[in-house]
Amino acid sequence: MEELINNSRHKVVGTRQTMKALEKGEVEMVFVAGDAEEKVIRPVASACDDNGVEVRQVESMDRLGKMFGIKVKAATAAILKEV
């Protein structure tokens, strides 16, 4: 999974950025943290269902942030489609 993220040039981190990208139809795959609050990830998961986007779960917000190269926790993140 980390190799997939590292090989992707276009990605976004955070729920707001992930939702914006989903609304624009730019997302290839979404990652959600297993310890994130349900009220935070529910809209993202619903948008993924509506748009046929694959969702993968990561064990924690801390781990997800590290996987995407940031030093803070993240509830959601996404790999964007290559243009």
Residue 28's Cβ-count burial label (10 Å; 0-12, 13-18, 19+) is middle
Tell me what the pLDDT averaged over the chain comes to: 94
- Residues 39-68: pLDDT tens digits? 999 999 999 999 999 999 999 999 999 999
pTM of the predicted model as reported, rounded to 2 decimal places: 0.93
HSE value, Cβ hemisphere, 13 Å, CA-based, for 57: 8
Measured CA to CA, the distance from residue 57 to residue 64 in angstroms comes to 9
Residue 3: band (very low, low, confident or very high) from pLDDT cuts 50, 70, 90: confident
Domains and CATH numbers, the chain: 2-80 (3.30.1330.30)
Task: Give the per-residue pLDDT at 27.
Answer: 96
- Percentage of the chain with pLDDT > 90? 87
Q: Contact 62/26 with Cβ under 8 angstroms?
A: no
Residue 29: band (very low, low, confident or very high) from pLDDT cuts 50, 70, 90: very high
